[in-house]
Amino acid sequence: MFIDFHTHHDLKSPDLINLQTLHVTPELQAEELPNICSLGLHPWFIQLETWEAAWSNLVNLAKLSQIVAIGECGLDRNIDLSLETQISIFQRHIELAESLQKPLVIHCVRAFSELIALKKDTKSTVPWIIHGFNKKEEVFQQLLKHDFYFSFGGAILSDRSPILQAITTIPNGRFLLETDDRTDISIKQIYDRAAALRHVSLETLQTQLIETYHQLTRLS
């Protein structure tokens, strides 16, 4: 069994848990949701005029049992929306995740110190999973120390990736794998590469990641 922990694609296969992530709009209906998914307001798509309506919709939908995680949500210093606004919307996600006891799937670009500060200040008890992590070792070590989890994607396929050390050494139980929005790669390729780098068999990695997935999403 493979787990694609963060994908924007709707893919069905008997040996795949496909955790599709959707950006919630005011119009999104429960009937449109995949069997399992994560829901949030992605910072890229937040519009000042509509986000509050989208937010109330998210609060209603997030209670459903097929919603196994909250996000993606987070902070991105490369976009026009002010970081202050992004932080206040992200804080709502943190509170929601906490009240439902579901993990947070986080998008973070150039705002890791703010992210760490928020984790400390809110004393959140749910797992914070940084998806698509692709930063240098120093940032990785700092996040690891602050109990973050990671979801690694296509970046690990590259021989020049700054996270090769991270994927090789990260303790079992602290990471999952993903394809995100890429259509040119498969989750199997990511698993094969991660297994090779970690010197474990594909089967061992699969068993480990199923356990991690169940642990993080509190499913049995």
Give the binding site for Zn ion (CB under 5 A).
180
Neighbour tally for 182: CB within 10 Å: 16
Question: How near is the Cβ of 207 to Zn ion at its closest, in Å?
Answer: 26
| Closer by beta carbon to Zn ion, 42 or else 198 | 42
Question: How near is the Cβ of 181 to Zn ion at its closest, in Å?
Answer: 6
Distance CA 181, CA 147 (A): 26
How big is the chain by its Cα radius of gyration, in Å?
16
As to burial, measured by CB atoms within 10 angstroms (0-12 exposed, 13-18 middle, 19+ buried), residue 189 is middle
Question: How near is the Cβ of 123 to Zn ion at its closest, in Å?
Answer: 27
Closest-by-Cβ residue to Zn ion is 180
Matching residue, tokens 């090779």: 196
| Closer by beta carbon to Zn ion, 7 or else 217 | 7
| Closer by beta carbon to Zn ion, 195 or else 213 | 213
Query: DSSP 3-state assignment of 220?
Result: coil
Phi-psi region of 71 (alpha: psi -120 to 50; beta: other; left: phi over 0): left
Question: How near is the Cβ of 71 to Zn ion at its closest, in Å?
Answer: 9
| Closer by beta carbon to Zn ion, 4 or else 180 | 180
Q: CA-based diameter of the chain, in Å?
A: 50
Question: How near is the Cβ of 182 to Zn ion at its closest, in Å?
Answer: 10
| Closer by beta carbon to Zn ion, 9 or else 136 | 9
